[in-house]
A and B are shown apart, each in its own frame.
Chain A
Amino acid sequence: GIQVEQSPPDLILQEGANSTLRCNFSDSVNNLQWFHQNPWGQLINLFYIPSGTKQNGRLSATTVATERYSLLYISSSQTTDSGVYFCAVYYGRRFGAGTRLTVKP
């Protein structure tokens, strides 16, 4: 089945820093989502982005489907950005293992 790999597994930032999270997938996909799981466990839908680029405030995402990767950019990070970021493909059938982000004040 399709493999989904996220990197880095852990990331520690100082508040105000920028970061890039990566999601690689082993097969072509027509469905890709990014989620944020906050420290209280809630899973929040960030982006549906099978291709192209989208922006929402300080967050943006880019998927290059032909090269089988997606990137999530977080600019001017805040402590509330802490948590685990997941990418998921194939209509939620496969999730990556996540990137755990810690933003320090």
Chain B
Amino acid sequence: DTAVSQTPKYLVTQMGNDKSIKCEQNLGHDTMYWYKQDSKKFLKIMFSYNNKELIINETVPNRFSPKSPDKAHLNLHINSLELGDSAVYFCASSTRDEQYFGPGTRLTVT
């Protein structure tokens, strides 16, 4: 069983479109995250939720809106996509100390 899953794995879309990425974890963790990994492999935290409550919001444009319907799910909605949004987006969940990552979603904006 996959611990942290994301859909879709690949997403190709045009500038200006709106898209969503879904994340689910079956580890029973209270905390979930979204990260962006750019083309140079640099990983940057975007958001963190604890028990459906937003606890970290790291200077991310407000075109990005996370939504946590329950503590096992954290979805990422992106409005008005821009070329610079092209990246790999990782979802993760954690115990108090250790994080576990999903497989990533490669977003390409053309």
Contact = CB atoms under 8 A, between A and B. Distances in A.
Contact of B41 (A84, A88, A93): A84
Contacts, number: 51
B97 A43 contact: no
Interface in A63-95: 84, 86, 88, 91-95
B45 A93 contact: yes
Interface of B is mostly: strand
Interface of A is mostly: strand
Given A33-B97, A43-B101, A97-B41, 11 more contacts: A31-B97, A33-B98, A41-B88, A41-B103, A42-B101, A43-B104, A86-B43, A92-B48, A92-B92, A92-B94, A98-B41
Interface of B: 33, 40-45, 48, 56, 58, 88, 90, 92, 94, 97-101, 103-104
Interface of A: 31, 33, 35, 37, 41-45, 48, 50, 84, 86, 88, 91-95, 97-98, 100
